[in-house]
Structures are given as structure tokens and as C-alpha cells.
Amino acid sequence: MTTPAPRPGADLRIRAATPADVPQILALIRELALYEREPDAVVATEDLLHRALFEDALGTLQGGPRTLSHAPRSGPVAECLMGELVDGASAGQAWTVQGFALFFVNYSTWTGRPGLYLEDLFVRPAHRGRGLGRALFTEVARLAARRGCRRMEWAVLDWNTPAIDFYKRLGAVAMSDWTTFRLAADDAVAPALGPALDAFARD
């Protein structure tokens, strides 16, 4: 049974990211990588994040006029929500960013409709248990519903039982019959695939 999600209260709020948030977003990504035991895996920069979230990222990242190798869309390729907390509601106390959710549109051939892929959802460990993660997730789900998406998807490390339990409490179903694959430009297998990956590695 799905647990109803609380709406943000007086000490919690969710808002859309702005360009001024990019340094904090990158800091949170690095904290997430540390939590997921891959502290050296983050190669993103503030410039790359700014392009992805607030510019015509597919054009500016690849450069030059669009060709068949460029996706037929423009604008940001991802979106981000910021989760803020304040201790108490008295005047003069500042809101501080303690979590974020970053997501983008994908597509299902089975449903014939778009979906949302949740790339990252992270709340700093010291601030968990206050409903911020649930509020971030709920807002992404609301956005998906308003945009006509048929589903949301995301990946969780198999050892991350707190996250797995969190999503199960929200009614999510683990896709245990599926295996996730990845091919990166710097993978050892890439040279064996020949010139087809040369442009991929350069872009």
C-alpha cells in the first residue's frame, strides 16, 4: 500500500533550481558520490551542469550545427529541484539547501508515452528523517503526472538498503528481472567497437 506523502511544512520547501544553485548542486553530487563509495567518479563541472540545466545543452556540449548525430531537440536536457530546510519558522532564519532531485525525460515504446528518469535524489545524512527526501520525490512524481508521463524510473545500488526501503515505502516496485548496462567513452571495450565510437569519445 502506498504511503501518502506529506506536503512541505513550515520548515521544509521544494523549489526549482536556478543558475545560482549550480555550485550547490555540484557539491551535493560530490557528496552523493562519496556516499555511494565512488568519490573520484564525478567529472562534471559547474559549466557542464549549467549547460545541461539551463541552456541548449545538446547543442552547446556537442558544438557546431545540428546534424544526424545531434538529437532533434533543444533546450536543457535535465531539470533539478532543490530541497531546503530551516530550523524553526521565526523571522530572520535562512533557508538552507540540504537535498536535491535531478531528472530528465525518457520515452517508453511500450506505453507510447514519455516518462521521467530520476538520475539523483539525495539528502545530506545529517538532515534525513525530516521528510525532505519524500517531499522531493513527491514533487517529481507530481511533475510527471502533470506532464502526462506514464511512469518514473531510477536505479539504486543493491547494497543501499535504506534507499531501497525508502522507495518501497512509497509504493515503488523493484525491477529485479532487468539488468542495467552502461557503455562509457573511456571503457576498455570501446576501442574494440571501432570508429563508430570515435565521435562518441570526442563529444
Reported for 24-33, long-range contacts at CB under 8 A and 24+ positions apart, including other chains, are 24/82, 24/97, 24/100, 25/49, 25/53, 25/80, 25/82, 25/100, 25/102, 28/97, 28/99, 28/100, 28/122, 28/124, 29/120, 29/122, 31/122, 31/124, 32/120, 32/122
> How is 24-49 classified by DSSP, letter by letter?
HHHHHHHHHHHHTT-TT-----HHHH
SS3 of residue 115 by DSSP:
strand
> Rounded distance, CA 140 to CA 29, Å?
18
Examine the residue annotation and report whether 167 is marked as an active-site residue of this protein.
yes
Contact between 186 and 202 under an 8 Å Cβ cutoff? The reply is no
CB of 99 closer than 8 Å to CB of 24: no
Instruction: Check 35, 107, 117, 167 and give the catalytic one.
Output: 167
- Please identify every residue annotated as catalytic: 167
